[in-house]
Amino acid sequence: MFPTDRPRRLRRTPALRRLVAETSLEPRHLVLPMFVADGIDTPREISSMPGVFQHTVESLKGAAAAAVEAGVGGLMLFGVPKSEDKDSQGTGGSDPDGILNIGLRTLAAELGDSTVIMADTCLDEFTDHGHCGVLSPDGSVDNDATLSRYVEMAVSQAQAGAHLLGPSGMMDGQVAAIRGALDAAGYTDVGQLAYSAKYASAFYGPFREAVGSSLHGDRKTYQQDGANRREAMREVDLDIAEGADMVMVKPAMSYLDILRETADRSPVPVAAYQISGEYSMITAAARNGWIDRDAAILESLVGIRRAGADVVLTYWAAEVAGWL
């Protein structure tokens, strides 16, 4: 009448649970997304993402150094230009003296190869219409014209010192176009973390405040439909065939099934992005006393790792690395 199999034996103490844990979470698995903004004199907290800041170039140096000291695996940098510097082509994104490239050069000078410096290779922060590419006369995003802009942006980011570029615009052929341009310019060692399965998500809202987005409408014509799974695998396979060094699933929370399937088929490392909405929801619930903040953060990150992510981009990267 009593069970002979008792799995609870291996859960009895913290030491036993640690001994048999199937999934690990280490600082090296975590990448910290960071924002560097033009036209501000002091760091500016993002109201919808409490604890996350738009940095000045000077404060970026300090925050990045602290994150690296904590052991994070890398830093993903986004640029926030002044609104008057935006235009229809997003030229500030490829300008060597634009805020993103200034930030990349600063990190490269300060940190060198002690961490992995990653760059967001997308135009949305820099366009006055807020889309990830160049618009056609009818208002749609022109895929091939956008590739020409990505190529310019990629080479400028490589020149600025990025180790990995993050093409996130979901344009067809973007990985191949960037790879060809990097190789032609002599940057054969600069890699790509391709945003291969990036969905048109409602959970990006706080991020749009973080980068001062000018977007009106949505990006459903180029980001993936949340109803589709096979399409994501096609996108992943195409990016790998085009030369992606790593692939990413974004967002993480609502797409863990996509992350698992990607990890099962990918010959290259797989990343997942715990996005702004995920950060803000946990933060807000914790501030209301509804959940245990630190436990929820760790549980969410372990869940992303368990689903197959080799690398997790999270706004808690530096803090969690400190805990670990």
Which of 61, 86, 198, 220 is labelled catalytic? 198
CA–CA separation, 17 vs 299, rounded Å?
15
Residue 122 parent element (H or E): none
Burial of 281 by CB count in 10 Å (0-12 exposed, 13-18 middle, 19+ buried)? middle
Instruction: Give residue 299's Cα distance to chain centre.
Output: 20
Instruction: Give residue 142's Cα distance to chain centre.
Output: 24
Concerning whether 61 is annotated as a catalytic residue, the answer is no
Concerning whether 198 is annotated as a catalytic residue, the answer is yes
Dihedral angle of Cα 54, 57, 62, 65, to the nearest 10 degrees: 100
Radius of gyration of the chain (CA): 20
CA–CA separation, 172 vs 221, rounded Å?
12
Q: Please state, in angstroms and as integers, the Cα–Cα distance from residue 16 to each residue in 6, 122, 126, 199, following that order.
A: 14, 46, 51, 39
CA–CA separation, 44 vs 63, rounded Å?
13
Give me the active site residues, please.
198, 250
